[in-house]
A and B are shown apart, each in its own frame.
Chain A
Amino acid sequence: MALLQISEPGMSAEPHQHKLAIGIDLGTTNSLVATVRSGMSTVLQDPHGHALLPSVVRYMQDDQIIVGHQAESKQNEDPINTIASVKRFMGRSLKDITNRAHIPYRFVSNNESEGVSQGMLQLETRAGLKSPVEISAEILKTLKLRAEKVLGGELTGAVITVPAYFDDAQRQATKDAAQLAGLHVLRLLNEPTAAAVAYGLDNASEGVYVIYDLGGGTFDVSILHLSKGIFEVLATNGDSALGGDDFDHRIYCWILDQILESNQTKHLLNEEDTRLLLTKARQVKEWLTDNYEAQITCKLSNGYAVDVTLSTDEFIELTQNLVNKTLSPMRKAMRDASLDLEDIKGVVMVGGATRMPHVRHAVQEFFEQEPLTNLDPDKVVALGAAIQANVLAGNRSDEDLLLLDVTPLSLGLETMGGLVEKVVPRNSTLPVARAQDFTTFKDGQTAMSIHVLQGERDLVSACRSLAQFELCGIPAMTAGAARIRVTFQVDADGLLSVTAREETKGIEANITVKPSYGLSDDEITNMLKSSFGSAETDKQARALVEAKVDAMSLVSAINIALEQDGHLLSTEEKGPINSAITRLEDLLNNEDNHAIHDATEALNTATEQFAAKRMDVSVSRALAGKNINEVNL
């Protein structure tokens, strides 16, 4: 995907300088930013000493946008323009949101891409239509600003966490939001894996651990094998639409029932009432963690005074089936990892919703051991993300931390009869690539439609559609003679790209899966333009600066590589690289960003063989190092 590259000026920092890298936990209810300072992962606070930023965005009358506590406090007054829990809408269409009637927003379906009835939904606010990506970007911008202020410099990049069970559309939406916020995304990291990093490194843990992560809107369970700094995910499962919000919602519905019972006239709630009762419900849930009973009193817009009391027993009865909904993913993950209960060394609780006693109790009963709750379930994900960001930015020279994560959902292609043929099974270690061959079924067939799906079910209709594309220009042959090889590549962010190739004639089609739920490149470009609000000349100047920064950092990286491993190349092989460097350096005095861009690409191409040789050498070095250790043992 040819998105605008937003290079941070910080990217051109000297190689040995400490780079400012952050980890962001973009949560349903709260978001956090953390960084590693003097070897310690720390959550960064705002000037008022708050670590948690409520994930609430308010669009004001004067075009201002307010994020966090201040927005949260206005939720009841201005619910339509004050968006909370936007994470639940990321990469989702209108039909995915089942309980819309009880959410106080004005949803709009986004049908502009023709033929696709399932574009990502939008919300109507006084500032116009806002997509979940734009709203999330406001939260990310706020955290970025906080980090820049506290750290006092430009950021090299950020690791953004996502629920492990997020599908491709939700991951892509998150990455788009980060880009829109002007962040350089080092990696999308799964939340339970981030928690495992923070927990595992702190406790020097070895063995198999389960991370039970019940957040505001999502549930993940990941099983990891921890050994000598390598965090290997064995299996992951979850429900990307189950979290603390649903518990609030059950209480909310219960309050409504009480109102109806005590008062025969039907109360029509307006948006303010809905938001007020949802807020009350959340307070009740939190109160019941340490108390047996909660009283709910408030006044509705029509003057009706609510006064009801909910006991812990009633609360458990209302929500036990939500807790039970987390059991099936746990069983599946255990089965996928081929593990028995006695193999599990510890169960780590993550996410604010795991504070509820009956959740802890259910987990304890399932794993037959007391879960570990000795870390702040709200902060551990951000702390882990910061540790990973620090490693990725290259601040740690000792390469002793490695995360091997998996793809949560199977990927497949539609075949005859509306069935899905699995190509990449769930829980495959990333990065992963798989190829599948297809053929034509009619004489002279020149095009083929390819439909990519994600999910575990056999029927197309029961899986999530990621992308549909036409492979055109297949040479006309008799039925069954063409050989079309479709390759799926899932990268370390868990994002999919698909390549299709006709093998007999070598016709290639390259597709990065941009799901029907995602934003088009044009949309992102437009959003970026409007957010910069800059004139055409500014854009030109910016593009030129970016091209130069890219070029200089490439030249410096290649010069370092040549210093280290130049001996791998013969003089003849070095020639083209050196001349490509000279050409690029000459252009740097120039003002032509396209020429600089092209020369940068040319230099990249000239170093492909060198990169391959260096990779082979570093792999053999890695193995040789191991052999020496074995001898020493």
Chain B
Amino acid sequence: MSQKYFELFGLGQTFTIDLSVLESHYRKIQSAAHPDRFVTATSAEKRESMQMATLANEAYQTLKKPASRAKYLLSLNDIDATQETNTAMPMDFLMQQMEWRESLEDFKSLKDVGGLDGLAKEMHQAAKALATELITLFDEHNDLVKATDTTRKLIFINKVCEDINKAITQIED
């Protein structure tokens, strides 16, 4: 993860980014670098095209979503947000976590898709609030310790959302 994703899209290395600029620059880069532009090119050029298009896809996907963007920003500061650290999650978040997990299991056993959808909406709200928090922590206070905690929370929430989707798919099948 040493590639400079922000630099690739001409963006400053901040948590707050202009998503419309990210998107339009991504499309510009793919328009120039995509393998479809190099079908009749030399094999050296084809390889370059494949590498650049792959990099642009990965960079775009990483920067597009708040959790992966935060995780990437931390990694640029040698912090691995997915690694267990000494700093435990605050008690209230741990309690909240358990509640979410329990509701997920309840809805799942009841095969209640509506309930799962509602839970997903609640999680999205919580994720939004955390992303707003990250703006302050990264771009105003440059508080990487707190930002790491908040990022971990966000990653956790995304994981629950994934599990909710999986549960819905299972029920619908």
Specify which chain B residues have a CB less than 8 angstroms from the CB of A332 in the assembled complex.
169
Task: Verify A623–B10 contact, CB threshold 8 A.
Answer: yes
Q: How far is the CA of A393 from the CA of B38 in the complex (A)?
A: 9
Q: What range describes how many residues of A lie at the interface?
A: 35 or more
Measured CB to CB, the residues of A under 8 A from B are 11, 157, 186-187, 230, 328, 331-332, 335, 388, 391-394, 399, 402-404, 428-433, 489, 491-492, 554, 557-558, 561, 604-605, 607-608, 610-612, 614-615, 618-619, 621-623, 625-627
Which B9-58 residues have a C-beta within 8 angstroms of A?
9-10, 24-25, 27-37, 39-45, 47-50, 52-54, 57-58
Residues of B within 8 A of A (CB): 8-10, 24-25, 27-37, 39-45, 47-50, 52-54, 57-58, 60-61, 165, 168-169, 172-173
Which residue of the partner chain B has the closest CB to A608? B44
Closest-CB distance, A571 to chain B (whole angstroms): 20
Interface-centre pick from B9, B31, B48 (highest chain A CB count, 10 A) = B31
The answer to whether B43 and A604 touch across the interface, beta carbons within 8 angstroms, is: yes
Asked if A187 and B28 make an inter-chain contact with CB atoms under 8 angstroms apart, the answer reads: no
| Cβ–Cβ contact B169 & A187, under 8 A | no
Least CB distance from B40 to A in Å reads 6
Bound state CA distance, A388 and B35, in angstroms?
A: 13
Q: How far is the CA of A392 from the CA of B49 in the complex (A)?
A: 14
**In the complex the two chains form, is B34's CB within 8 Å of A428's CB?**
no
User: Quick check: B52 and A619 within 8 Å, CB to CB?
Assistant: yes
Closest 5 CB pairs of A and B: A622-B32, A611-B44, A622-B28, A492-B35, A615-B48
Given contacts A331-B172, A399-B37, A492-B35, contact A614 B45 (CB under 8 A): yes
Question: Interface majority SS on B: helix, strand, loop or mixed?
Answer: helix
Tell me whether A335 and B169 are in contact in the complex, defined as CB-CB below 8 angstroms, given that A608-B44, A612-B48, A619-B52 are known contacts.
yes
A610–B10 Cα distance when bound, in Å, is 23
Q: Give every chain B residue within 8 A of A627 (Cβ-Cβ).
A: 10
Bound complex: CA A332 to CA B172 (Å): 9
**Complex interface: chain B residues within 8 A of A608 (CB):** 44, 47-48
A622 to B33, CA, bound (A): 9
CB-CB under 8 A for A615 and B49, given A328-B172, A332-B169, A622-B28: yes
What's the Cα separation between A431 and B168 when bound, in Å?
A: 29
Chain B residues with CB under 8 Å of A429's CB are 57, 60-61
B29 with A619: CB separation less than 8 A: yes
Given contacts A402-B31, A558-B42, contact A615 B172 (CB under 8 A): no
Across the interface, name the chain B residue whose C-beta is closest to A493: B35
Residues of A within 8 A of B41 (CB): 557
> Contact check: which of B24, B36, B39, B43 meets A626 at CB < 8 Å?
B24
